[in-house]
Amino acid sequence: MFSDELERLRQENLLRRVCDRDLEATTARILINGAEYINFSSNDYLGLASHPSITEAAKRAIDGYGLGSGASRLLSGGTELHGKLERMAAEFKGTEAALVFNSGYTANISAIPSIAGAIAGKGDVIFSDEFNHASIIDGCRLSKAKKVIYRHRDTSHLSELIKKEEGKRKIVITDTVFSMDGDIAPLKEISDICREHNAIVYIDDAHGTGVLGDGRGALEHFGIKPEPWPNAQIIQMGTFSKALGSYGAYIAADRDVIEWLINTARGFIYSTALPASIIAASIEALQILQKDTILVKKLWQNRERLLKGIRELGFDTMNSETPIIPIIVGDMETTLKFSELLTKHNIYAPAIRPPTVKIPRIRITVTASHTEEDIDKLLDVLSKITQ
């Protein structure tokens, strides 16, 4: 049975393979089977994953706390470092409290059902952008709430839909930076709509944290203050695993929201805690980001250089506004061949295909670690491929 389905995927150019990298890779370079490529597929936007002070912090924590944590946070798996990171994340995001989760996916599939089911049987309604991440979609499915999908970044459509659900508790959920398109949610308009209709705003700032708003994320980018209820209610999910170069995620919100998640979020309650070494790495990464925004500035300089060059070559980059730059080159087969040609020129940028996206593309992500020479090499290769 599975062999037939796998063959169908192969015939439709949808079969995926795991590609593990070798030792000694960095953000801008990747080694695969001994060959080196310039890596334009990493979400390590600031190049912190191999930062020496971060790796040293992790090593010190292993020496002090051991490797595994051995239990959930509600038992004996947490350390003083976990609490410190949560206090730092809350201060960083301007909220009363924060709670660490094992991954962004775990955070969304745990927090969304917990929040949407906070008042069981009261008819909660979730409004979700049609291009939201799979973890948001799955979190919505797991909730007890009614699900309403609004057109991508279409606040007029959202406003129209939300008016139809008066008398019910409403939660609007959106990515801040959409990971496959590279565009940004119109959070100011969304926030205004939610304030007008007394709705909760839940944002997934995984690709915004460390990237937007001098690194502080999407709310800072738009000048939005995370005011406590009842003036507003903004719940922020963010990760340590992308721009911060570590691993794990957090929810930052009012203290009551965090207390509720501690008591009801299944992914928190029933998961072994992240090891202290990972927490220590996240603490160090957050401290680096708060001390200096030079890496954020370098990221955006690289992004502007690359985007300008790609567009001058005539490629369709959709509505990219961030270091995520999709390149539309044709159908599935054409996109796969395009990626293979990039690989032959030692550029690593895998094709992105359905069901992840509706339109196949090469998804380029530029980082602060890329040099001008790296960017110019990609532009030169893109130029040669199109000739």
Partner residues linked to 29 by β-bridges: 38
Task: Provide the angle, in degrees to the nearest 10, between the axes of the packed helices 255-264 and 104-116.
Answer: 100
What are the structure tokens assigned to 156, written together? Answer: 């007029």
Does 345 participate in catalysis according to the annotation?
A: no
Contact 36, 346 (CB under 8 A): yes
C-alpha 219/C-alpha 225 separation (Å) is 7
Tell me how crowded residue 364 is: count the other CB atoms within 10 A of its CB.
25
- Residues 179, 282, 339, 369: which is the catalytic one? 179
Reduce the DSSP state of residue 129 to 3 states and report it.
strand
Does 271 participate in catalysis according to the annotation?
A: no
Alpha helices (H) along 143-235: 155-163, 187-196, 218-222
Does 383 participate in catalysis according to the annotation?
A: no
Stretch (H or E) spanning 327: strand 324-327
On the question of a cis peptide bond just before residue 355, with omega within 30 degrees of 0, the verdict is yes
- Residues 242, 282, 369, 370: which is the catalytic one? 242
- Residues 207, 221, 246, 277: which is the catalytic one? 207
Alpha helices (H) along the chain: 2-11, 52-65, 80-93, 104-116, 134-142, 155-163, 187-196, 218-222, 255-264, 266-269, 276-291, 294-312, 332-344, 372-386
C-alpha 261/C-alpha 342 separation (Å) is 45
- Residues with a catalytic annotation lie at 179, 207, 242
